[in-house]
Structure formats: structure tokens, C-alpha cells
Amino acid sequence: MASMTMIEAIREAHDVAMAADDRVVVFGEDVGFFGGVFRCTAGLQAKYGKSRCFDTPINESGIVGTAIGMAAYGLKPVIEIQFADYVYPAYDQIVSEAARLRHRSNADFTCPIVIRMPTGGGIFGGQTHSQSPEALFTHVSGLKVVVPSNPRDAKGLLLASIEDPDPVIFLEPKRLYNGPFDGYHDRPVTSWKKHPKGEVPEGNEIAPLGKASITREGSDVTVLAYGTMVYVAEAAAEAAGIDAEVIDLRTLLPLDLDTITASVEKTGRCVIVHEATRTSGFGAELMSLVQESCFYHLEAPMIRVTGWDTPYPHAQEWEYFPGPARVGEALKKVMEG
């Protein structure tokens, strides 16, 4: 085991995959010589050369389109979109080409690409550096969507994504890059170096896609969360004094519905937390699935705690961000139902 930040764990996953398979190539804006805006690819170009880790023009459509062509020819591109907010020019390539390639070719071709993107807020990035677009991708057949919440999972899930034969959207909560964040923005930040989930196994240890993790066991209410919201939910449950079971979904597609239903059947209550805007967010899909699977076990209406239906506001960052106070209120309300 080695103690790592999420940035270091992501870099380690690249290194392990590139050392094991010459077909793995890494590229994007500033990812080569500069090592990426968050340094997730630092040192890879020096180690593996400019043909396997290289910089691209500022052209997201071109980055993804090139990766699709390379994948069709047998390579395994791992590309970085500098911020999730910048992916929209490439959306057509992702939806119409990458996600459909296996189906439209009758499996003669696959598209083993990983599209890495820093996501979410909590860093005063404003409306163009704080978005959480996961629901735009969970709606698309043919894609897998991954959101790690800690360094160990970041490495293991990225390695699994690189090995997957189909396109994977890999969303990295940038507020978690250097340490866990429970939503208390006025308190000191803890480094991953001092957190048990900062301990990362060496080598090629894969975390399977489609398997959720119960991060806090409880019997009163089930909380479904992913990314930064996992730590917010844990902090809210602790502060509210409620015996909540917190589930870190880890992958949104494929979704571990078995773990979710087993927990809701036990607790009889469910709160769903995500940072993205409320309307048509992934929480709505989760509510529908829980309702369909656990209707006769529910003791109270489910509650969503989300970002607001507005652009991410710079000046009102913490009013938008679903913090422990809002989650705690939802926990108390669902217990009264």
C-alpha cells in the first residue's frame, strides 16, 4: 500500500496501464509536457515518449473524434477533457459515434476509449468550471459512467475502465483531488495522506465496474450518493444523529441496483444526494428505480437533495452546493414520514 492523493492515484493508474499494454495512449489539452492542468498525467510523456502521451489543440470534438478512430484501429486511448464543462463540442462524437460503434458495426468494431473529466464544484470555479453533466451520459445507451470518491477507487476504477471494451465516461470530482470534503467549507481540509482511503494498493488491482460500496452502515434510512456527496452525506448523518446507511454508487452505469434495493428494503426510507441540477438529474432515475423495486418496503416518500436549477453561481457557491445542513434536514424529514 502507498499513501496517495486522488491525483497521484489517477496518474499511477495511467502508468500501470501504459506499462502493461503498448496500445494505451494518453492525450488531451496540456496533458503531455505540462502533465495536465491538475497534473494527473505528469511525467508520463517523459517516461513513455511523445507518441504515447501527447498534447492536442484546444478542440474537444477533435480529441474525441481522433480517439474513436484510434480505438477502431485497435488502440486504447485514455483522453482528458480539461473540465467537464468543456465536453459539449464533443457530445455528438460521444453519442453518435463512440456509443453506437459496437451496435452499428454488429460488433465488428468496438470503442475502448476512456474520457476523463474533472467534474463538480466547491472550488469557486463559477458556471464554466463547476458543472456536473453525468445525467447527459447516463441517458445514452452504449456508455458506461464512473464517478470515484477516493484515491483507491480512482485507481482501481480507472484501470477497469481502460480494460473495458466499450467507451467509459470517467468523472473525477475535482474537490476531492487532494482530500475528502464533507461540505464544511469553513473548516480545515484533511489530506488523503492522513485518510484511510488514501491507502492505494500497488500494481494492477482493479475495482469492478457496477459495484457500489456501503461506506456507512445503518438501519434508519438509505442515502444514495456519489463523488463528493458521499462525504457530505456521512457528515450530515453524523451531525443529525441519524443511523443512516450511506451507499457510494461509484458507477452510475452499470448501476448496482442489488445493493441499493437490499439497503432500502432494510431501512424503508431513502434520500438521494447529488451536486448536479435537480430537474432530470440522475437522482430522478434513482428515485424511479427505487420506487419500482422497493414500493412495498418504503415507509415514507423519498427525498432528493441536489444543486438548484440555475447555472453554478460563483458568488453563492455554498448556497448552491448541497451541504450537510440541507442533507441533514432531508434526513430528519424522511424520518418523520
Catalytic positions, please?
Answer: 129
Is 260 within 8 Å of 212 (Cβ atoms)? yes
Cβ atoms within 10 A of the Cβ of 50, count?
12
β-strand pairing of 199-200 with 2-3: antiparallel
Beta carbons within 8 Å of 196's beta carbon, 6+ residues apart: none
Give the residue from 53, 83, 65 showing the smallest Cα distance to 172: 83
Report the DSSP pairing between strands 76-80 and 244-248: unpaired
Pick from 50, 234, 38, 250: nearest CA to 125: 38
Residues 269, 298 contacting (CB under 8 angstroms): yes
Is residue 254 reached through a cis peptide bond, with omega within 30 degrees of 0 on the bond before it?
yes
Tell how many helices (H) and how many strands (E) occur in the chain.
12, 14
- Grid cell 445493493 is found at 259
Cβ partners under 8 Å of residue 26, min gap 6 = 14, 18, 41, 44, 52, 53, 54, 77, 78, 79, 80
Q: Any idea what DSSP says for residue 31? A: -
